[in-house]
Chains A and B, each alone.
Chain A
Amino acid sequence: KAGVTQTPRYLIKTRGQQVTLSCSPISGHRSVSWYQQTPGQGLQFLFEYFSETQRNKGNFPGRFSGRQFSNSRSEMNVSTLELGDSALYLCASRRTGENTEAFFGQGTRLTVV
């Protein structure tokens, strides 16, 4: 069974630009969550999607948005990039059910210059 796949692995963008990251969950998993990982802040929850609906949202500005498609693939968009958005962005997928294990992708390393 293929794992969680994130593309691209690395991105370099300029301040003010926008970026779209993609996450393909494990087959059969309908829940996809996104996290921002930085050295000083650890893993911070961005949002979670289930069956194309956003179920939960973390404390990030509106520049961070996401969506999920009918095949459970998810995209995350960051508009008007700031230097502080440089981070590793991880997505995780879960199978349906309560307290199920989160399987993480390798992440997308975003650098804003």
Chain B
Amino acid sequence: GENVEQHPSTLSVQEGDSAVIKCTYSDSASNYFPWYKQELGKRPQLIIDIRSNVGEKKDQRIAVTLNKTAKHFSLHITETQPEDSAVYFCAASIGGYQKVTFGIGTKLQVIP
């Protein structure tokens, strides 16, 4: 089955700096890669996603890149703010199937 590895497990950055979280996946058939943000005590919420026919996608301060050959994808957050502090999960799934495999999560702390 699919295996998703996520690094780092914790990340501390100064407010205004950039944060990068990296994930690798094992199943070359995976073609959908969502990222979820989970604030303390709250439910995970989708923040951005990318499909395998796209190499990069941006949404304001958040961007995701995908390298299908290397089977890795990354989340980039620029100009970080304290409200970006949360746990971020990457995930991979095969289109049409709803078995989504999540990474173990990255706890991001933005220091004011």
Contacts and interface: CB of A to CB of B under 8 A. Distances in A.
Chains A and B bind each other: yes
B97 A55 contact: yes
B95 A99 contact: yes
Interface residues of B, number: 26
B98 to A, nearest CB: 5
Contact of A42 (B98, B99, B103): B103
B25 interface: no
Interface in A74-113: 90, 94, 98-99, 101-102, 104-107
B96 interface: yes
Chain A interface SS verdict (over half): strand
A31 interface: yes
Contacts, number: 60
Nearest to B43: A104
B93 interface: yes
Nearest to B95: A98
B67 interface: no
19 contacts: A35-B102, A41-B104, A42-B89, A42-B105, A43-B44, A43-B89, A43-B102, A45-B101, A50-B98, A55-B97, A55-B98, A55-B99, A56-B97, A98-B32, A99-B95, A102-B100, A104-B36, A104-B43, A107-B43
